[in-house]
Structure 1
Amino acid sequence: MKELILAIGLVLAIEGTLYALVPGGVKKLMQSALETPDSVLRIGGVVALALGVLIVWFVRG
């Protein structure tokens, strides 16, 4: 449970940094996501999920 809370904190810190440093870029990225077909976003999400699981698996051993 401690690690889950740590992971959520890290995600919030990274997202907060992006919003603080480049708010215009984040808005453009969101607009681009709205214009991207669902199938492309779904594939990107699955790839990100797989990479995340692999990274955690390798780091945790």
Structure 2
Amino acid sequence: MSATRAALAMRGRNPDVLTCIANLSNDEVFTPPEVASKMLDTVADVWAADHAGSSIWTDST
């Protein structure tokens, strides 16, 4: 039954990667995916501010 629920939940959208990783384990997740996502967004914003607007995720330096 859970496979059916997962298929229905995934239809028509791409799930958030951090949420999917958090759901793979039965262990406690210390950092909620929403917090981790905000942290990564902040890193990207600070990097862009210090590197003439370039993206940290595409800059190979």
TM band (smaller chain): 0.3 to 0.5
Q: Quick check: which has more Rg, 1 or 2? A: 2
TM-score where L is the length of structure 1:
0.37
TM-score where L is the length of structure 2:
0.37
Higher helix share: 1
